[in-house]
Chains A and B, each alone.
Chain A
Amino acid sequence: MAATKKNTLKLKFDSSRNLAPALESKSVAKIAERYDLFINGKFEKPSSKKYFDTINPANEEKLSSIADANSTDVNKAVVAARTAYEKTWKKTAPKERAKYIYRIARLIQEHARELAVIETLDGGKPIRESRDFDVPTAANHFFYYAGWADKLEYAFPNRNPQPLGVAGQIIPWNFPLLMAAWKIAPALATGNTVVLKPAETTSLTALKLAEIIQEADLPPGVVNIITGAGATGAALVNHPDINKIAFTGSTEVGKIIQKAIAGTNKKATLELGGKAANIIFDDAPLDQAVEGIINGIFFNQGHVCCAGSRLFVQESVYKIVLQKLKDRMETLIVGDPLDKNTDIGAINSKQQLEVINKYLKLGQQEGAEIFQTNCGIPKKGFYCRPTIFTNVAQSNRIVQEEIFGPVLAIQTFRTEDEVIEKANNTPFGLSAGVWTDKGSKIFNMTSKLKAGVIWANTYNKFDPVSPFGGFKESGFGREGGLHGLGAYLKV
Chain B
Amino acid sequence: MITTTPDFTATPRIDQVGVEERASRFTKRSIKDETKLNGLKLALNMIDLTTLEGKDTDGKVKQMCYKAMHLHDAYPGLPTVAAICVYPSMVAVAKKALGDSGIKVASVATAFPSGQSTRDVKLRDTKYAINQGADEIDMVISRGKFHQGEYNFVFDEIASIKEACGDARLKVILETGELGTYDKVRKASDIAMYAGADFIKTSTGKIQPAATMPVTLVMLEAIRDFYYKTGKKIAMKPAGGISKAKQALHYLVMLNEVLGEDWMNNEWFRFGASSLANDILMQLMKQKTGLYQSGDYFAND
Contacts and interface: CB of A to CB of B under 8 A. Distances in A.
Interface size class of chain A, counting residues whose CB lies under 8 Å from the partner chain: 35 or more
Given A287-B221, A288-B15, A320-B228, A11 B29 contact: no
A14 B261 contact: yes
B9 to A, nearest CB: 14
A262 interface: no
Contacts of B34: 20
B260 interface: yes
Interface size class of chain B, counting residues whose CB lies under 8 Å from the partner chain: 35 or more
Interface string B4-21: 100000001111011101
B3 A2 contact: yes
Interface of B: 2-4, 12-15, 17-19, 21-22, 28-36, 221, 224, 227-231, 256-257, 259-262, 264
Contacts of B35: 18-20
A284 B13 contact: yes
A187 B22 CA distance: 36
A22 B249 CA distance: 15
B33 A286 contact: no
6 contacts: A13-B256, A18-B35, A19-B31, A20-B33, A285-B14, A287-B22
A9 B231 contact: yes
Contacts of A14: 261
Nearest to B12: A286
Contacts of A288: 14-15, 17-19, 22
Interface in A10-26: 11-16, 18-22
Contact of A12 (B17, B19, B228, B260): B260
A-side binding surface: helix, strand, loop or mixed? loop
Contact of B3 (A1, A12, A128): A1
Contacts of B14: 285, 287-288
B17 A457 contact: yes
Nearest to A283: B13
Contact of B264 (A7, A15, A22): A15
A437 interface: yes
A249 interface: no
Given A15-B256, A16-B257, A340 B28 contact: yes
Contacts of A13: 256-257, 260-261
A277 B60 CA distance: 61
A285 B30 contact: no
Contacts of B256: 13, 15-16, 331
A39 to B, nearest CB: 40
Given A2-B229, A6-B229, A341-B29, A12 B13 contact: no
